[in-house]
Chain A
Amino acid sequence: MRPLTLGRLLLRCGILALVLFGVVVVALKLGAVQVSLYGLGRDLIRVLLGQSSSISSDYGMIVVDIRMPRILLAIVVGASLSIAGASFQALLRNPLADPYVLGVSSGASVGSILALMLVNQLALSPSFAGLITPLGAFLGAALTITAVYFLGRRAGQIDSGTLLLGGIITASFLQAIIMFLMSTLAGGNLRGASYWMMGSLSTPPPQSLLYLLGFGFLLAAGAIYTTASDLNLLLAGETEAMHLGVDVPRVRLVVYLSASLLTGLAVSVSGTIGYVGLLVPHAMRLIFGSDHRMLLPAAALGGAIAVVIADTIARTVVAPSELSVGAVTALVGAPFFIYLLRRRLA
């Protein structure tokens, strides 16, 4: 018997954080403009010391003003989607649940677009618009997961197959709405349909929205983490969890709301990036086991690593042009998923 201890948890998270750091350094270095490792280190230290004004080279500006915000965004988006995926999988007792597959991301997209349209209509100030979009995305995500949850219920129980079908159908319905909104009401700064359906990190949001994103992430991820040991028991089903002392309605409410918030925030700044919430928790489960006290932080760090890598590939392989980051996650995701499946069967 070797139950999880705080020491082991921190050690493992430390290792993952080191991997993330390494990936970030490589991501900062790679791009259309080459940056030397030495120059990169020097500029980063200056930024940390608050002397960003003393960075004179163009290279430094590219790293600090263009690549760095984008990478930070990738970290938060990846962590958010991955935690949301792990939570949905536990709560819905479905290993294939994730914000993308269940249509929650598409719901958040529709919510974002409607919010942006509202902003355009009312000619609100851009800073206010920055608040409205994530709110719309959150509402869209929360409404979608509620709808899918009820679609997936049969005789009072969540049915795996029905739930997935409900999610996929909801997703395609919402994508049709996105296409409709895009083709009939284009104009303003609604971004393109491909952004909402494949995702992109190429235009980091304004500073104020980034703070909101960070704050919302900490709030929602923290709330989900307080239910980590409850989620372990929910894997055995709601009735059994209840008999083991889990306050099921409370956990369900906290986790659905928080996971919707995470998805909404991620989608409002990066569109729909698929498969992260499906693959990363699976990979982490294979490495670290299915104890959510370990799995949730591992999924957050793993999701950050995955999206930073995916985005680096998206902006470098066809440079100076760019791929959608969602296309990269889908391209890499499907074969990796098959590999995981085979390994688990072996």
Chain B
Amino acid sequence: MSTPHRVPSPPAKVSADQPHGNPDLRLSVEQASYVYAPNPAQAPLFTLEALSFQAKPGEVVAILGPNASGKSTLLKLISGALEPLSGRVFLHGFATHSLPPKTRAQRIALVQQESRLLFPSRAWEFVLQGRHAYGGGLRFETEEDIAIAKNALAQVGALDLADRWMDKISGGEKQRVILARALAQQPLLLLLDEPTLHLDIGAQVDLLDSLRRLAAQNRYTVIVVTHELNLAGEYSDQVVLLQKGKCLRVGSPASVYQRDLLEQVFQAPLTVETISSGRPRVTILARK
């Protein structure tokens, strides 16, 4: 069965599957909130308060905040892995959590911090996993799938890694192959959870350069969860700043990066200056 991608699947139930809101916006988070509670009677362990923001095709959005600020929860709401307690997350007018698994995988790709493998596989096998959502049952990979996988590897500069084993390549190379798998899904929305975590500085810049370029070329909407204030300031169009489950600010890096605000959120003395490109630069200072 070969489904042409990006065709909405037939509506299964109620209005959740009908396009809703402004379809020109790619991603629209509307007053979405979430609560983790072991059971309804107890006090919640964590609450993500209702927040909203929008993103257009080709835009890079950074989600920033200290640990336990709700970054990962927000990413799960956007990816559709969690259903918002209130509000909605729409992708082209469809609520992400109510999309069927295959349709969702054709529209949303998630790059997680670490991709563990039980048994070793080669890089090309790994990238072809991104084509799973386009096949049914046992379908063997077509020439088209292979071409798309090769193209995805080429786009992240990892074509020469195709025949290498995933457990025998460096962290930076692995991260590129994982990104290639996400590209092979041909998504509209590319989500990344701390993609630069175990990378050295060169690999970090390489990765973000490719993200910036891919967002522009392929019109992806890219959402990155990160701790790297300066990389986010340099590469993103929009910043969502979270603290303890509250969304404090949404806007351009220049408008969000204010010394008082960042010092209060990250609990560290710092300075913010604007460099010649017009982007903010943060310097962390030692505590007196």
Contact = CB atoms under 8 A, between A and B. Distances in A.
Contacts of B110: 240, 243
Contacts of B124: 1, 3
B175 interface: no
B64 interface: no
A236 interface: yes
Interface string B114-127: 01111111001100
A246 B140 contact: no
Contact of B81 (A89, A95, A239, A293): A239
Contact of A244 (B105, B118, B137, B163): B105
Give the one of B101, B105, B140 with max A CB within 10 A: B101
A291 B125 contact: yes
B140 A4 contact: yes
B132 A243 contact: no
Contact of B135 (A1, A229, A240): A229
B108 interface: yes
A177 B176 CA distance: 53
Nearest to B106: A245
B16 to A, nearest CB: 17
A130 B21 CA distance: 61
Interface string A58-88: 0000000000000000000000000000000
Given A3-B141, A4-B140, A242 B101 contact: yes
Interface string A212-256: 000000000000011011101101110110111111100000000
B149 A1 contact: yes
Contact of B129 (A1, A242, A244): A244
Interface residues of A, number: 34
A226 B139 CA distance: 10
A93 B130 CA distance: 20
Contact of B146 (A3, A229, A239): A3
A290 interface: yes
Contact of A1 (B100, B133, B146): B146
A245 B119 contact: no
Interface of A: 1, 3-6, 89-90, 93-95, 225-226, 228-230, 232-233, 235-237, 239-240, 242-248, 285, 289-291, 293
Given A94-B118, A232-B132, A293-B140, 14 more contacts: A229-B137, A235-B117, A235-B119, A237-B116, A239-B81, A243-B79, A243-B81, A243-B104, A244-B105, A245-B102, A245-B105, A247-B102, A248-B101, A293-B138
Interface of B: 79, 81, 100-102, 104-106, 108-110, 112, 115-121, 124-125, 128-130, 132-133, 135, 137-141, 145-146, 149-150, 162-163, 185
30 contacts: A1-B146, A1-B149, A1-B163, A3-B140, A3-B141, A3-B145, A5-B140, A95-B119, A225-B138, A229-B138, A230-B132, A235-B117, A236-B115, A240-B112, A243-B104, A243-B108, A243-B110, A244-B105, A244-B132, A244-B185, A245-B102, A245-B106, A246-B132, A247-B100, A289-B121, A290-B119, A290-B121, A291-B125, A293-B138, A293-B140
